[in-house]
């Protein structure tokens, strides 16, 4: 494995953002994550810089020595610029917590971005598997095999009563977190989103914004995840969370049909207004783009807008992220330069 991050093309579309998969009209992507820690070292928040270095080398060696992972890239964040770090966060290969952490830490990932191993984030190891659409069971089969394989090479912190030990008690037990990135504009437009998400929370899930737990909700994009990681098996957790997600999908589709039946002209006006702004704006911040592009996404999904495909809109959504824009333009940019460059790119693609 070698560090080739600087050569990653900014126009590459990650597998999880391809616009394909089951229920892709509502579920953009599914992520399965397992939290693990090495038993021989203090957990990251208490580990010294030298101990963090040893953990990083131990995990990297475990994957480097396995033939099935020899095509994976291993990236240490201390060797990257801030923009390169942010680029990996925007691709959802890394997390924002890796940027703010100290010492040796980083990611091991495959070329499609489907499989990622975060090292020395909140826990020593976070195994992550992502793909487009609603596919938790397929992802679980993949990540379970990786977990078994790495568990044979690295001694994990485990208690017979409490299960896998993690930095946060909320992740102990199975250490399993299954998350669905969902586009729910119709529930917002029909003002039923709060009611639906409240009901979902009572069934054991939590909600946050696009891409990461610290992000606010923009662009009608919600990340919905299971809460409990202890007291149930992995299969039980996956199935119970999937049942909640299926209900949310049904509610969103019903809300879209209601809008088409009762407010078709108003929806078409909203889509066209969003298109007009995006096609002519000279300055755009990222939140404004996400909110306006949400209307276009809904238009595509409801066959009311055909100037872009979902995959083209997804590619544009990645390219207008700050680090992607800077990588595309090959230099660091101020906030105003980013807003101007973002608008220029959007005008070129949409207009």
Sequence-separated (6 or more) residues with CB below 8 Å from residue 205? 224, 225, 226, 227, 241, 244, 245
Percent of the chain scored above 90 by pLDDT?
Answer: 81
Query: If you average pLDDT over residues 136-165, what whole number do you get?
Result: 93
Check residue 16 and give its pLDDT. 94
Token code pair at residue 316? 């544009």
Check residue 37 and give its pLDDT. 96
Quote the CA–CA distance of 85 and 38 in Å, as a whole number.
24
Per-residue pLDDT tens for 206-247? 888 765 444 567 899 999 999 888 888 899 999 999 999 999
pLDDT at 164 over 70: yes
Per-residue pLDDT tens for 326-341? 999 999 999 999 999 9
> Within 163-210, where are the H helices?
185-189, 193-201
Check residue 100 and give its pLDDT. 93
Per-residue pLDDT tens for 43-90? 999 999 999 999 999 999 988 888 888 889 999 999 999 999 999 999
Check residue 114 and give its pLDDT. 94
The H or E element spanning position 74 is strand 73-76
Per-residue pLDDT tens for 262-310? 999 999 999 999 999 999 999 999 999 999 999 999 999 999 999 999 9
Token code pair at residue 289? 């783009």
Closest to 204 measured CA to CA, from 233, 225, 174, 183: 225
Q: In the Cβ-directed half-sphere of 295, how many Cα atoms lie within 13 Å?
A: 18
Task: Look up residue 113 and give its DSSP letter.
Answer: S
Closest to 121 measured CA to CA, from 84, 163, 191, 171: 171
Check residue 13 and give its pLDDT. 85
pLDDT at 8 over 60: no
Query: If you average pLDDT over residues 104-122, what whole number do you get?
Result: 94
Check residue 212 and give its pLDDT. 46
User: In terms of CATH architecture, what is 5-257?
Assistant: 2-Layer Sandwich (3.30)
Token code pair at residue 170? 């909320």
Residue for token pair 């992740």: 171
The H or E element spanning position 302 is none
Check residue 33 and give its pLDDT. 96
Q: What is the CA radius of gyration of the chain?
A: 21
In terms of average pLDDT, the best of 148-162, 164-178, 270-284 is 270-284
Query: If you average pLDDT over residues 134-141, what whole number do you get?
Result: 96
Check residue 261 and give its pLDDT. 97
Task: Look up residue 108 and give its DSSP letter.
Answer: E
Q: What is the pTM of this model?
A: 0.92
pLDDT band at 7 (very low <50, low <70, confident <90, very high): very low
Burial 300-339 (b: 16+ CB within 10 A, else e): bbbebbeebebeebbbbbbbbbbbbbbbeeeeebeeeebb
Percent of the chain scored above 70 by pLDDT?
Answer: 95
pLDDT at 351 over 80: no
pLDDT band at 11 (very low <50, low <70, confident <90, very high): low
Query: If you average pLDDT over residues 13-39, what whole number do you get?
Result: 95
Check residue 216 and give its pLDDT. 66
DSSP string, 226-265: E---SSS-HHHHHHHHHHHHHHHHHHHHHHHHHHHHH-HH
What's the mean pLDDT when you consider all of the chain? Answer: 91
From-to residues of CATH 3.30.590.10 in the chain: 5-257
Quote the CA–CA distance of 41 and 205 in Å, as a whole number.
32
Quote the CA–CA distance of 59 and 125 in Å, as a whole number.
8
């Amino acid at each position: 494995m070698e560090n080739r991050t600087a050569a990653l093309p900014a126009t590459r579309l990650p597998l999880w953002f391809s616009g394909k998969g089951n229920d892709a009209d509502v579920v953009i992507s599914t992520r399965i994550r397992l939290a693990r820690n090495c038993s021989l070292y203090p957990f990251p928040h208490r580990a010294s810089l030298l101990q963090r270095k040893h953990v990083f080398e131990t995990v990297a060696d475990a994957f480097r020595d396995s033939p099935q992972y020899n095509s994976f890239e291993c990236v240490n964040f201390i060797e990257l610029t801030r923009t390169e770090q942010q680029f990996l966060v925007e691709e959802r290969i890394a997390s924002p917590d890796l940027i703010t952490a100290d010492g040796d830490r980083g990611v091991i990932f495959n070329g499609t971005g489907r499989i990622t191993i975060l090292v020395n984030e909140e826990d020593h190891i976070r195994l992550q598997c992502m793909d487009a659409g609603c596919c938790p069971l397929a992802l679980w089969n993949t990540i379970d095999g990786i977990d078994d394989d790495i568990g044979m090479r690295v001694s994990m912190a485990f208690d017979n009563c409490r299960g896998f030990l993690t930095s946060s008690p909320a992740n102990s037990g199975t250490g399993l977190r299954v998350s669905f990135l969902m586009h729910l504009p119709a529930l917002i437009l029909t003002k039923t989103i709060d009611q639906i998400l409240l009901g979902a929370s009572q069934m054991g899930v939590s909600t946050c914004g696009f891409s990461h737990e610290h992000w606010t909700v923009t662009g009608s994009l919600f990340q919905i995840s299971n809460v409990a990681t202890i007291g149930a098996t992995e299969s039980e957790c996956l199935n119970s969370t999937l049942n909640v997600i299926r209900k949310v999908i049904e509610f969103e589709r019903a809300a879209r049909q209601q809008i088409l039946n009762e407010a078709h002209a108003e929806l078409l006006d909203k889509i066209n207004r969003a298109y007009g702004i995006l096609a002519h704006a000279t300055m755009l911040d990222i939140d404004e783009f996400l909110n306006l592009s949400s209307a276009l996404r809904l238009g595509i999904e409801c066959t009311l807008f055909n100037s872009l495909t979902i995959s083209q809109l997804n590619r544009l959504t990645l390219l207008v992220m700050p680090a992607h824009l800077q990588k595309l333009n090959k230099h660091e940019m101020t906030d105003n330069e980013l807003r101007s460059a973002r608008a220029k790119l959007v005008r070129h693609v949409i207009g």
